[in-house]
Amino acid sequence: MSRTYTGLVLSTALLLALPATAGAGRQRAARDEATDIRLHPSALAQLIDELGGRQISMPRAKIISVISPRAFLIESAGPLAPTPGKLNRVVVLVDKGSLLVNPVTLVGSTVKITGIARTVLGAQVTREVAWPRELTPDVVKRYEIRAAVLSPSVQTPDGVELVSAAVPE
């Protein structure tokens, strides 16, 4: 009888301890997510109004066009091509420095991007990074650019940095 009672007490104690442990884990995860949210470019494009101004990382982004050594367009990397009208593209503005690689080599490549999420309007107004003059309102609309990222780092999936540290002259 005492063995059953002891087992019941231990089981109850474990069950009572689980929610507190799980809750602490969730709180810790929420704090970590606040500083670095991992998502696909199309998700950022759809959620930019909620995520603007936050530190984000996009571990799988496909470069579709290089506008200049400091700006390029990305979309989600995946086996299926996006549907026109729902492209949800993101412009990446290199925060400091410039791309080290020939644009022809970069197009079609999968990269990892970290930086600050911005709305297209926010990126143009804050002038934290120069807005490329090639991205006129008509071009932004035609290419379905829905968000921007101010990025100090662009890497290959294996961690090779593709951005120089110095600003080009």
CATH number of domain containing 88: 2.40.50
Q: Quick one: pLDDT at residue 8?
A: 37
Same domain for 78 and 2: no
pLDDT band at 53 (very low <50, low <70, confident <90, very high): very high
In a domain, 164, yes or no: no
| Residue range of the domain that includes 11 | 1-35
Write the pLDDT tens digit of every residue in 98-154: 899 998 899 999 999 999 999 999 999 988 888 999 999 999 999 999 999 999 999
% pLDDT > 70, the chain: 73
Same domain for 89 and 42: yes
Same domain for 65 and 22: no
Residue 145 has φ and ψ, to the nearest 5°, of: -85, 120
Same domain for 66 and 92: yes
Q: Quick one: pLDDT at residue 63?
A: 96
pLDDT band at 28 (very low <50, low <70, confident <90, very high): very low
Q: How many domains does the chain have?
A: 2
Residue 153 CA neighbour count, 13 Å, CB half:
15
Same domain for 104 and 46: yes
Same domain for 84 and 12: no
Same domain for 42 and 13: no
In a domain, 168, yes or no: no
Same domain for 57 and 26: no
pLDDT band at 79 (very low <50, low <70, confident <90, very high): confident
The pTM score is 0.75
Rounded Cα gap, residues 77 and 37, in angstroms: 17
Give which of 118, 150, 125, 145 is closest to 134, Cα–Cα: 145
CB 71 within 8 A of CB 93: yes
